[in-house]
Structure 1
């Protein structure tokens, strides 16, 4: 039988235990966020002309900083919002019916084939379990704005960082924006990720409207957990997010204290993969994990 003292100690221990849904934003990531907001709009736009809200301005861009990470920003310091995505597996073990309010749910995500290929007993991502980000824009309509993150080194199912509600959440690049609307949209995440940010008031049709969410994508194969680097068959958001925490903690070290605003500069090769794709004259110009082939680090 537990004594009152034991119960109090257990309660205190649980209160102090870190929760996957409430991770504090590290200083370097907070500085990156502040610098991005403070710059007003990004100086190095890879693609622009996107919108965060129906009827809103089409002045949001995919941006790249000096460390090659990619993020979304509008003008006047605005970032992205967070609409809710419920695509993928339906009726799974974590489904609490909040996705049922969505009017545009699709039964498949962009990288379902890769998920199946991992052979972990699941056929696709589950929005109620996997904290995925909808990133990139595809479409074939005439004049429709598109952006392919893969062209800039971002790989499917790679780990991403999301700063939302004064929290840092790790997710994966799990889906893309299609051309099913009149204009190309940005700023969307799975309901499990959005719930970790803003609580259970989130539903399939009720997201976060403020443009203060920072989505950060990391280039290079080292950002991909692969079949055995994440708990793809998890039955809860907490279990999956915990499985990619170490990878996320590693990746955010790329975000220097000076933030991410400026144009690309000559890399210092201070972290693994920094020189991937950069020009080189010899092996000394590349990080130790890359070799100089035909004038580029690969």
Structure 2
């Protein structure tokens, strides 16, 4: 677990700077995220990490299945389920497979494109199932914050839930179990990396199989770097997606910087509410609060102070 000690101006010491530098180097070496990646990621809080490791270590990862029969990989098996901690009063819903497997991460290019972070990795033609609108575009527009929809390059959104009317098609509606549109989700990637996202889109029945495990290119880039594209994702089955139930998980119009021009700004705006939601999780024992360390190109933010490394 990475931690950071709040530092007063003028209180630097060679020993402390060395500790922070080593922590950042270990963090970057722990997974595929590149140290020159300018996208912010967060160290995984201890209680969420315990939950994550517990699911991976169990042969039957799903505590209580709400719906099963979904595919995480197109050429894989339909053994991924929407699971919960409590079938009667769920506080979280997450994706889990069998034999300690969780989910992969594909890239969704739906919604608005363009802006300063549009580098063409989600250009038309690179995503075979591109839609020009996300599922909750009408809610975004009702916020009247200057944007018409989510931007895949800016907003770290998760595709969660499955809809469709084809015979035999597996479906799941998270709202039936208390998850609200545009609510905060936590995504854990291998290498002690966590990103706060929002539930921003759903899977339809326009493909061959009912799929799960898809995110905006902004979120995928935060976890894996800029090798992620509209037609190239991450196939490891060790990504955890956690949705939180209840109205208090929804940042609403003023609880997030929806009009942000870049991923970093929007991600920071989700952190206060995201931290509260994660800290109320239990993983066999009450979660304990940890201090966040944000790793960015050329330095770290520790205790609210920018540290150039």
Cα distance in 2 for partners of 1:20, 1:55 equals 30
1:248-259 equivalence runs, <5 A: 248-258=274-284
Deviations 1:136-185 (A, max 9, x none): 00001011000000000000000000001320110000000000112100
Distance 1:108 1:192, change over 3 A: same
Checking the alignment, whether the CA contact within 8 Å between 1:20 and 1:242 is kept in structure 2 is: no
The answer on 1:72 being equivalent to 2:95 is yes
Checking the alignment, whether the CA contact within 8 Å between 2:103 and 2:213 is kept in structure 1 is: yes
Per the TM alignment, residue 43 of structure 1 is displaced from its structure 2 partner at its CA by 3.6
Cα distance in 2 for partners of 1:255, 1:72 equals 16
Alignment correspondent of 2:187 = 162
Distance 1:20 1:242, change over 3 A: farther
Cα distance in 2 for partners of 1:228, 1:178 equals 29
Per the TM alignment, residue 103 of structure 1 is displaced from its structure 2 partner at its CA by 2.6
123-132 vs 38-47, greater mean Cα deviation? 38-47
Cα distance in 2 for partners of 1:182, 1:21 equals 34
Cα distance in 1 for partners of 2:174, 2:280 equals 18
The answer on 1:26 being equivalent to 2:49 is no
Alignment correspondent of 1:267 = none
Deviations 1:193-252 (A, max 9, x none): 000000111111110000100000000000000000000000000000000100100000
Alignment correspondent of 2:66 = 46
Distance 1:236 1:259, change over 3 A: farther
Cα distance in 2 for partners of 1:252, 1:212 equals 19
52-61 vs 77-86, greater mean Cα deviation? 52-61
Alignment correspondent of 1:188 = 214
Query: Residue 176 of structure 1 aligns to a residue in which SS?
Result: strand
The answer on 1:234 being equivalent to 2:260 is yes
Per the TM alignment, residue 26 of structure 1 is displaced from its structure 2 partner at its CA by 1.2
State which of 108, 111, 114 in structure 1 corresponds to 2:136. Answer: 111
Normalised by the length of structure 1, the TM-score is 0.79
Cα distance in 1 for partners of 2:107, 2:284 equals 31
Query: Residue 93 of structure 1 aligns to a residue in which SS?
Result: coil
Alignment correspondent of 2:151 = 126
Deviations 1:229-277 (A, max 9, x none): 00000000000000010010000012213189xxxxxxxxxxxxxxxxx
Cα distance in 2 for partners of 1:192, 1:253 equals 24
Checking the alignment, whether the CA contact within 8 Å between 2:111 and 2:151 is kept in structure 1 is: yes
Distance 1:259 1:196, change over 3 A: farther
Structure 2 residue ranges without an equivalent (≥5): 1-13, 28-37, 287-309
Checking the alignment, whether the CA contact within 8 Å between 2:39 and 2:221 is kept in structure 1 is: no
Per the TM alignment, residue 104 of structure 1 is displaced from its structure 2 partner at its CA by 2.3
Cα distance in 2 for partners of 1:22, 1:60 equals 26
Checking the alignment, whether the CA contact within 8 Å between 1:36 and 1:259 is kept in structure 2 is: no
Query: Residue 122 of structure 2 aligns to a residue in which SS?
Result: helix
Per the TM alignment, residue 93 of structure 1 is displaced from its structure 2 partner at its CA by 3.0
Normalised by the length of structure 2, the TM-score is 0.77
Structure 1 residue ranges without an equivalent (≥5): 1-8, 261-298
